[in-house]
Amino acid sequence: MPRRTIAIGDIHGCAKALAALIDVIEPTEDDVIVPLGDYVDRGPESRAVVDLLIELVDRCQLVPLLGNHEAMMLDALESAEVREFWYGVGGRETVESYGGSLDELPFEHSVFLRGLNRYYETDSHMFVHANYDASLTLDQQPDRLLLWEHVVHTLPPRHCSGKTAIVGHTPQGTGEILDMDYLVCIDTYCVGGGWLTALDVESGTVWQANRDGELRR
């Protein structure tokens, strides 16, 4: 089988959806899987989502990106002020999934979260959580764009590398992928009743599962 590069959109604690996609994709050691960030918060099973991702490390070439929600979770471990804000934007559900306190955060989860990548790129595609400055190389991107800025607020032109950008973070309430050719957003709002999307960027194959782990297509 040819090597696949598969991006996965914003999971937000929807462990059943992620498990269903992993089952249908059947990742092998030849596959590069790029979850685009926002594994935790809002949905009910953030801890289980992180467990599933950690299991994938032994099964394929996993390149998990950092989302703004993981950035907040890490900052919340150090700062009471951030913690209060984070609780209000979905962190409370994450803490509940860890048994009510992050003091119980397993060591492997801490290592996983602290090792997340800011971006990934192939010869033809670039992968970031949220957005980018089209004139800056990927290692120069500011957090404000890379982690936070919705593409509906600031739509960038094609990146200077010429590569197709695969992004998450901006929820598509329709449940459909936003495909602008040079920029593809695959946050299809699983946690809000839409779909969790996986996209094979070379073949264009799409897999989608909902919060209950039901597949479509």
DSSP 8-state code for residue 66: P
Considering only CA atoms, which of 53, 81, 55 is closest in space to residue 67? 53
Site string (59-98) toward Mn ion, x via CB under 5 A: --------xx------------------------------
Closest approach, Cβ 170 to Mn ion, in A, equals: 8
For residue 50, the SS3 value is helix
Both tokens assigned to 75:
């900052």
Among positions 116-155, residues that touch Mn ion (CB under 5 A) are none
Q: Which stretch binds Mn ion (CB under 5 A): 137-145, 167-175, 178-186, 209-217?
A: 167-175
DSSP 8-state code for residue 154: S
The residue within the footprint of Mn ion, chosen from 47, 159, 169, 211 (CB under 5 A), is 169
- Sorted by sequence, the CB contacts under 8 Å of residue 92 that are 6+ apart come out as none
Q: Which ranges of the chain would DSSP assign to H, the alpha helix?
A: 15-25, 46-56, 68-76, 80-86, 92-97, 107-114, 143
Give residue 129's identity as a one-letter amino acid code.
Answer: H
The residue count for binding Mn ion (CB under 5 A) is: 4
Closest approach, Cβ 21 to Mn ion, in A, equals: 18
Closest approach, Cβ 73 to Mn ion, in A, equals: 12
**Which CB atom, from 15 or from 128, has the smaller least distance to Mn ion?**
128
**Which CB atom, from 27 or from 67, has the smaller least distance to Mn ion?**
67
Closest approach, Cβ 74 to Mn ion, in A, equals: 14
Q: Which stretch binds Mn ion (CB under 5 A): 83-91, 103-111, 154-162, 166-174?
A: 166-174
Residue with nearest beta carbon to Mn ion: 169
User: CA 56, 100, 55 angle in degrees (round to 5)?
Assistant: 5
Residue 159 — φ and ψ, nearest 5°? -65, 150
- Residue 12 interacting with Mn ion (CB under 5 A): no
Among positions 21-40, residues that touch Mn ion (CB under 5 A) are 38
Closest approach, Cβ 103 to Mn ion, in A, equals: 25
Residues 29 and 99: their CA atoms lie apart, in Å, by 33
Residues 38 and 53: their CA atoms lie apart, in Å, by 12
**Which CB atom, from 44 or from 168, has the smaller least distance to Mn ion?**
168
Closest approach, Cβ 35 to Mn ion, in A, equals: 12
Considering only CA atoms, which of 158, 185, 153, 156 is closest in space to residue 10? 185
User: Which residues lie near Mn ion (CB under 5 A)?
Assistant: 38, 67-68, 169
